[in-house]
Structure 1
């Protein structure tokens, strides 16, 4: 498939005159969206994906998780009919097969990692699987981290390797009434940091614990800038979505604090009220696309892919792509292009006959 549509003049998908964004220190109205130049294009690489959740890109393949348990493969710009794996996941609204990450040495060891929700004795849990693949087929699957408390609605679910080659995991709270995100003995509502085999790094902030930071509600995306600073995007409860600068051992307040206001906790870098449902985020380090700002953020409720400079704040936020419905995840390819998945079949969107889609933004 080789459909191309211009980014320029794509219809803006939602009326933002009623949307107000706030910063802990300086409330700023949302700026008008803009588009890139006519030389930037979107290519539709795959259609009819079912509840896609996350993307991982290798040298010659793209892997997409579908919430119902499938790992789909796009090779040579073609969606393969047979999935790489079909996993038995819990059938809950915001759980299932969620995040995916490729080992830094994936091209030689063929290791990938997925975050999945499952049910055991009527209790929901999440776990991390390490999968070995060969020629787009699962060879082995081993659980390397288990018994992460699960939920029907707030599982978190991202997993990404950081610049230090450690695996970072975002976990959600089991309910908005739960105080487990404040409990260091629980894996709920945390950013976790583990080695590639599931063991605990010796330099983690809490002794013999995978916990890297605590006090999170429902983290959705993670990225690092070129200085190694770690940023996480997470859902609030209908409002107060947060972008947080994560530091080892720090507490981000949930459920006692939303965004800012309590000196015991870290303030959010950005706070969105009402919610825009941020998804995947990345720090763009390529040269193929010319963006005014370095950070790229997917948004589901706001139905946009944004560029945003966290140092400059909300005034720098501008639309890169709209008119495709809910945008779930965004990752950077090795050639500097961007890969994006929509999330219109997740039960909260309005899918067309070809949704959901994997798209590539390139010149």
Structure 2
């Protein structure tokens, strides 16, 4: 299948008072939500407001809301009070975005979040490390700051890779910014950092956090069983991409969309019209029949897709979930099941009275 196949369908310590507005002393639970009529789907939380990303510990699920709240689901119940409220910018394409738990979270209790903020009327993004204990904030530490931001294109995905490094997808100060082509800029990049924000010695550019460049607005990152890094990326109005990420490589934006220029890396998949991809995960469990497949959320496409993909091209794509409206993120939980959040309250959807939702896919 052609790589350009087009199919229908779319991130110095800071004082805690400058960041955290609330860290409640008590967290009484809300009543559990009613269950879906579909026995293959379990509803874990309702009433989420513009949720963006999911992260797990052994006994907690953390969900970010773009307005600044970190919500906690514990024992399958959404806690009434957020873990924290962060002073995030209230803008359409930014706010509190990505979240990740440290690989050794059960011992160090480190949470990492990516958010947009305003300083002297200039927008920036940063990655903050939060130390959590019993659903309270103990400490905060800035991992990386002064990532250029904009009203619309902020990237925001943060994940720990199989190498134990923190990967951060950044956005643009303006849509057609050529700084994504500048390896010395933090715009339009995937960054690779140690867990304390220092730069790994084996990064492709000396003394630089940059892993790859020429990106527009990455919305998902995942690694397959062979350690390959895949990223889902939205185009301007079309030409969404799935890219296989290699260290030091240039993925073209804004000079290239969807391939054709030998100066840049071509995507594995290009979508026209847009499906607006969200989060993406490589499923590696045995509880569901998706082993070694990529599972991708879509917003405009309103589906959760099962992708059979290799290092060169997409071989097949099938919908495994629809009818929920816009789907923002998907993750594999410690229990082996898939978890998704909807995004119908983001201003582009048609929310019902229970939106937005966190769901577990059981089969």
Same fold (TM over 0.5): yes
Structure 1 contact 51–66 (Cα < 8 Å) conserved = yes
Q: Secondary structure at the match of 1:107?
A: helix
| Distance in 1 of aligned mates of 2:54 and 2:237 | 25
Matched, 1:316 2:321: no
Mapping of 1:240-279 within 5 angstroms? 240-279=239-278
Structure 2 contact 278–297 (Cα < 8 Å) conserved = yes
Structure 1 contact 293–307 (Cα < 8 Å) conserved = no
Matched, 1:227 2:253: no
| Distance in 2 of aligned mates of 1:357 and 1:29 | 28
Q: Tell me: CA distance 1:292–1:193, structure 2 relative to 1, closer, same or farther (3 Å).
A: closer
| Distance in 2 of aligned mates of 1:23 and 1:99 | 32
Structure 1 contact 30–317 (Cα < 8 Å) conserved = no
Query: 1:155 matched to which residue of 2?
Result: 154
Structure 1 contact 292–307 (Cα < 8 Å) conserved = no
Q: Tell me: CA distance 1:314–1:269, structure 2 relative to 1, closer, same or farther (3 Å).
A: closer
Q: Tell me: CA distance 1:144–1:314, structure 2 relative to 1, closer, same or farther (3 Å).
A: closer
Structure 1 contact 293–316 (Cα < 8 Å) conserved = no
Deviation at 1:176, TM superposition (A): 2.1
Q: Secondary structure at the match of 2:258?
A: coil
Q: Tell me: CA distance 1:23–1:352, structure 2 relative to 1, closer, same or farther (3 Å).
A: farther
* RMSD over aligned Cα atoms: 1.7
Structure 2 contact 268–314 (Cα < 8 Å) conserved = no
Q: Secondary structure at the match of 2:206?
A: coil
| Distance in 1 of aligned mates of 2:179 and 2:212 | 13
| Distance in 1 of aligned mates of 2:259 and 2:136 | 46
Deviation at 1:121, TM superposition (A): 0.7
Query: 1:357 matched to which residue of 2?
Result: 357
Structure 1 runs not aligned, ≥5 long: 1-21, 32-37
Q: What stretches of structure 1 move > 2 A for 4+ residues in a row?
A: 22-25, 27-31, 311-315
Mapping of 1:1-363 within 5 angstroms? 23-25=2-4, 27=5, 29=7, 41-291=40-290, 294-311=293-310, 313-314=313-314, 316-363=316-363
| Distance in 1 of aligned mates of 2:328 and 2:340 | 7
Write out per-residue CA displacement over residues 217-253 of structure 1, whole angstroms, 9 at most, x where no aligned residue. Answer: 0000000010000000000001000100000000000
Structure 1 contact 28–314 (Cα < 8 Å) conserved = no
| Distance in 2 of aligned mates of 1:238 and 1:23 | 21
Write out per-residue CA displacement over residues 264-316 of structure 1, whole angstroms, 9 at most, x where no aligned residue. Answer: 00000100011101110011000001137611000000001010012285551
Deviation at 1:179, TM superposition (A): 0.5
| Distance in 2 of aligned mates of 1:56 and 1:176 | 29
| Distance in 1 of aligned mates of 2:48 and 2:90 | 17
Q: Secondary structure at the match of 2:190?
A: strand
Q: Secondary structure at the match of 1:317?
A: strand
Deviation at 1:185, TM superposition (A): 1.6
TM-score by length of 1: 0.89
Structure 1 contact 158–222 (Cα < 8 Å) conserved = yes
Q: Tell me: CA distance 1:139–1:259, structure 2 relative to 1, closer, same or farther (3 Å).
A: same
Query: 1:4 matched to which residue of 2?
Result: none
| Distance in 1 of aligned mates of 2:146 and 2:277 | 26
